[in-house]
Amino acid sequence: MIIKKLSLYNFKNHSEKKFEFSPQINCFVGNNGAGKTNILDALHYLSVGKSFLGNTDFNNIKRDEDFFTIDAEVQNEDSEDIIKISQPKEAKKIIKKNDKSYDRLADHIGYLPSVMISPYDSNLISDSGESRRRFLDSMISQTDSEYLFDLIQYQKTVQQRNALLKYFAKNRTWDRDSLEIYDAPITKFGTGIFVKRRNFVERLGPIVQNFYRIISGGKETVSVQYQSDLSEGFDSAQPDRTFRHLLTESLERDRMLTYTSKGIHKDDLLFEMDHVLIKKTGSQGQQKSFLISLKLAQMSLVKELTKKTPILLLDDIFDKLDDTRVSQLIELVNQESFGQIFITDTHRERTESVVKKINEESIIFEV
């Protein structure tokens, strides 16, 4: 997949910008605050329909404007498609492919897979499990068209169950039969999500280990472990049984807490080095090496599962990584035959030097 052209209108700090890209390497250079990362964020929108920075769609509309639009011309194996994302101030976001709107966002996810490597990746180690769940969900959604739909249905049902638990507490009443209406959909969608998450992480872990071994020289052993309430006692022959048992077992606890305390919405990823959480024992350099390994593994696995080469978005990494890790990253990018690459940097000379090492056709844009 190649993004040939990109047009931005009222997106963040860009009133109007147009780009024609190289099929290989594209660099955006300029001072801090010029809007380089915003361009990468627009490319991320094309892939997954939302900001990688976590901003709401409305907050990405340029100040004092009524909408933003992102247009792109995308070349795939046998055709060219026009992708358009528009967000009016007072209406729902619209994503179109060749002038036809998607009925649901899940139908677009996976069309243009992407991987972002940025300074914000450190949050995956330091933040709560929620950020790691989002990361895992984003990876799987790009490889499985039904996963995001199931996840949305699960989250909606849990919210409805929680609202009923709060209603019972507020009104000092209780109706177990009404609450159990939500058990079937929670169990159905939750069990399917659990199985897909578990299987994905089982494939991801060894790839992370391999990349880390290359980057670190094999000094430490790292792992990615999937942690879930459903893991203990899970019966593949009766997959729904474990979740039903969890809901029944935690019913009185849920009643006191007024929310659903057990389920796949509490899942987490454990990033370990030599069997200890990397955030506890890993140096800053080791953590950076792990995160690069994790993202390269993501790219490799998404490519394997979708048969599409993801676009690679490298945001400001040359300021945040030392020269050794930059060289290792560039070498691995070369070896893995990654596809179209987009890079931001504050120093043109440094960017030109890095691009020469990759030895591919490139365009440098001043922002």
pLDDT at 164 (0 to 100): 97
pLDDT at 359 (0 to 100): 67
Q: Is 35 known as a binding-site position?
A: yes
Q: Is 339 known as a binding-site position?
A: no
Q: What is the DSSP letter of 88?
A: E
Q: Is 30 known as a binding-site position?
A: yes
Taking alpha carbons only, the member of 107, 99, 60, 68 closest to residue 81 is 99
**CATH 1.20.1050.90 domain position(s) in the chain:** 128-307
Which residues in the chain land under pLDDT 50? none
**CATH 3.40.50.300 domain position(s) in the chain:** 1-113+308-367
Give the span between the Cα atoms of 125 and 123, in whole angstroms.
5
* CATH top class, domain 1-113+308-367: alpha beta
Q: What is the pTM for the complete model shown?
A: 0.89
3-state secondary structure of 163: helix
Tell me yes or no: is domain 128-307 CATH 1.20.1050.90. Answer: yes
pLDDT at 61 (0 to 100): 94
Q: What is the DSSP string of 240-295?
A: HHHHHHHHHHTHHHHHHHTS--SSGGG-EEEEEETTEEHHHH--HHHHHHHHHHHH
Helical spans, DSSP H, in the chain: 36-48, 123-126, 129-141, 147-171, 176-180, 183-216, 239-249, 251-257, 278-281, 284-306, 317-320, 323-335, 348-358
| Residues in the chain, overall count | 367
Q: Is 31 known as a binding-site position?
A: yes
Q: Is 33 known as a binding-site position?
A: yes
Sheet strand arrangement including 341-345: 114-117, 311-315, 341-345, 25-29, 362-366
Q: Is 36 known as a binding-site position?
A: yes
Q: Is 38 known as a binding-site position?
A: no
Taking alpha carbons only, the member of 296, 297, 337, 300 closest to residue 314 is 296
Cβ–Cβ under 8 Å, residues 346 and 367: no
3-state secondary structure of 107: helix
* 18, β-bridge pairs: 7
Half-sphere exposure of 111 (CA within 13 A, CB side): 23
Structure tokens at 286: 């080791």
3-state secondary structure of 96: strand
Residue 176, Cβ neighbours under 10 Å: how many? 9
3-state secondary structure of 99: coil
Q: Is 10 known as a binding-site position?
A: no
pLDDT at 187 (0 to 100): 95
- Among positive and negative, which fits the CA dihedral 243, 245, 248, 254? negative
Element spanning 69, H or E: strand 67-75
